[in-house]
């Protein structure tokens, strides 16, 4: 498909969400219209996630050098503690902090203005102690909330236009955006910030999975409306980005032999 800058909707949006001095006149924020910071599902089945020491011994340099996309998962039982650790390190809450004079949650991923518009959903199969299904990750209480019961991996493989590695992954993490959480403050520019936030979480997933000896691969192509329906998203929420997490037979990243980099020599 040829890129026509004059008629491309994406280019049009980029220009209209650009900052300019002429538009920086009224930057007042109406705090009365601020949306809720978190999503929680009422009256659903919940799964408590194990808590504990989520530290990883691998260095950042090792994690970055060994980062790779895995498409050859080996489906076998995954301990719930490992999924718990992965979700915490990707988008968990570490504590409280002050942002622009307000008390906010301090999380493992950065977010524009500390607003955190991304909600995580997890489709599971063969995770110990968790019935196969689709769950919402409630970060406030570090727990899963059931959305759909039953294995949905085959359906997700079809909705991602044939990404068959999903069929043998233990978990598919879907990053979904509540755009108004950020656009309430930043206007159209907040849409850009929300996409960046999803990218931050995606990198956390990659590095955390690799450091734990798990495989990961992200997916950006899918049938949006159908994935939204599968997750039972409300009208103000949209799926943005998927990450498959699973097991493989390659050596752990710390032990893998790699050719030394010749950059900057």
Tokens of 14: 């980029």
Please check the confidence at residue 206 and state whether its pLDDT lies above 70: yes
Comparing 17 with 265, the larger pLDDT belongs to 17
Mean pLDDT for all residues in the chain: 87
Total residues found in the chain within this entry: 265
pLDDT tier, 47 (very low <50, low <70, confident <90, very high otherwise):
very high
**264: exposed, middle or buried (Cβ count in 10 Å: 0-12, 13-18, 19+):** exposed
pLDDT of residue 34: 81
pLDDT of residue 192: 94
pLDDT of residue 212: 92
% of the chain exceeding 70 in pLDDT: 89
Please compute the mean of the pLDDT values over residues 78-85 and round it to a whole number.
Answer: 96
pTM of the entire predicted model: 0.87
Please check the confidence at residue 8 and state whether its pLDDT lies above 90: no
pLDDT of residue 152: 98
Please compute the mean of the pLDDT values over residues 47-61 and round it to a whole number.
Answer: 86
How are beta strands 238-246 and 215-219 bridged, if at all?
antiparallel
pLDDT of residue 253: 44
Q: Which residues of 141-155 are buried (b: 16+ CB within 10 A; e: fewer)?
A: ebbbbbbbeebbbeb
How far, in Å, CA of 134 to CA of 232, rounded?
Answer: 10
Q: Out of 83-87, 104-108, 146-150, pick the least confident.
A: 104-108
Q: Out of 55-64, 95-104, 140-149, 199-208, pick the least confident.
A: 95-104
CB 122 within 8 Å of CB 131: no
Q: Over the stretch 235-258, which tens digit does the pLDDT of each residue have?
A: 999 999 999 999 998 655 444 444
Q: Over the stretch 132-157, which tens digit does the pLDDT of each residue have?
A: 999 999 999 999 999 999 999 999 99
Please check the confidence at residue 220 and state whether its pLDDT lies above 80: yes
How far, in Å, CA of 53 to CA of 41, rounded?
Answer: 27
pLDDT of residue 263: 43
Neighbours of 79 (CB within 10 A): 13
Residue by residue, DSSP assigns the chain as ----TTT-HHHHHHHHT---GGG-S-----GGGPPPS----SS--EEEPP-S-----S-HHHHHHH-----------B-HHHHHHHHHHHH-EEEEEEETTEEEEEESS--GGG---EEEEEEESSBTTB-SEEEEEETTTTEEEEEEES--HHHHHHHTTS-GGGGG-SEEEEEEE-THHHHHHHTTHHHHHHHHHHHHHHHHHHHHHHHTT-EEEEE--S-HHHHHHHTT--TT-EEEEEEEEE--SSPPTTT---PPP-TT-
Query: 77-246, what's its fold?
Result: NADH Oxidase (3.40.109)
């Amino acid at each position: 498909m040829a890129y026509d800058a004059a008629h491309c909707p994406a280019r049009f949006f980029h220009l209209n969400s650009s900052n300019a001095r002429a538009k920086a006149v009224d930057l007042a924020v109406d705090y009365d219209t601020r949306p809720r910071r978190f999503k929680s599902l009422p009256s659903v089945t919940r799964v408590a996630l194990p808590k504990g020491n989520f530290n990883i011994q691998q260095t950042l340099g090792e994690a970055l050098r060994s980062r790779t996309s895995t498409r050859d998962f080996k489906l076998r039982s995954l301990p719930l503690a490992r999924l718990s650790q992965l979700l915490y390190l990707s988008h968990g809450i570490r504590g409280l902090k002050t942002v622009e004079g307000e008390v906010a949650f301090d999380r493992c991923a950065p977010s524009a203005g500390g607003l955190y518009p991304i909600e995580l959903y997890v489709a599971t199969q063969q995770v110990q102690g968790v019935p196969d299904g689709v769950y919402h990750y409630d970060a406030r209480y570090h727990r899963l909330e059931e959305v759909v019961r039953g294995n949905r991996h085959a359906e997700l493989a079809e909705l991602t236009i044939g990404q068959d590695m999903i069929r043998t992954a233990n978990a598919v993490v879907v990053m979904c955006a509540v755009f108004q959480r950020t656009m309430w403050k930043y206007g159209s520019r907040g849409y850009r910030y929300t996409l960046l936030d999803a990218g931050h979480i995606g990198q956390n997933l990659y590095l955390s999975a690799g450091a734990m000896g798990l495989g990961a691969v992200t997916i950006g192509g899918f049938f949006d409306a159908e994935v939204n329906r599968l997750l039972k998203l409300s009208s103000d929420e949209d799926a943005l980005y998927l990450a498959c997490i699973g097991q493989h037979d390659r050596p752990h990243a710390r032990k893998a032999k790699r050719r030394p980099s010749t950059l900057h020599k």
